[in-house]
Amino acid sequence: MESQRLQELQMLLEFLDHCKLYLTMRPEPKEFHMQQFLHHMIQLMPLKA
């Protein structure tokens, strides 16, 4: 379905916005923990594995 694709794209864009926000809030690379970041992102994902 075309609307399904659009919905997926919208979710992806929102996801990327969250990524951008998260990275902007933590400008210091040494404070950046990939595991923490991934955990944060997984919580935001509306998809079920």
User: For 2-37, what is each residue's pLDDT tens digit?
Assistant: 898 888 888 888 888 887 887 777 666 555 567 777
Cα–Cα distance measured from residue 6 to residue 17, given in angstroms and rounded to the nearest whole number: 16
Which long-range CB contacts under 8 A does 37-43 form with residues at least 24 apart?
A: 41/15
pTM score, whole prediction: 0.47
Total number of residues shown for the chain = 49
* Positive or negative torsion for Cα 45, 1, 6, 9: positive
Q: Which residue has the higher pLDDT, 49 or 39?
A: 39
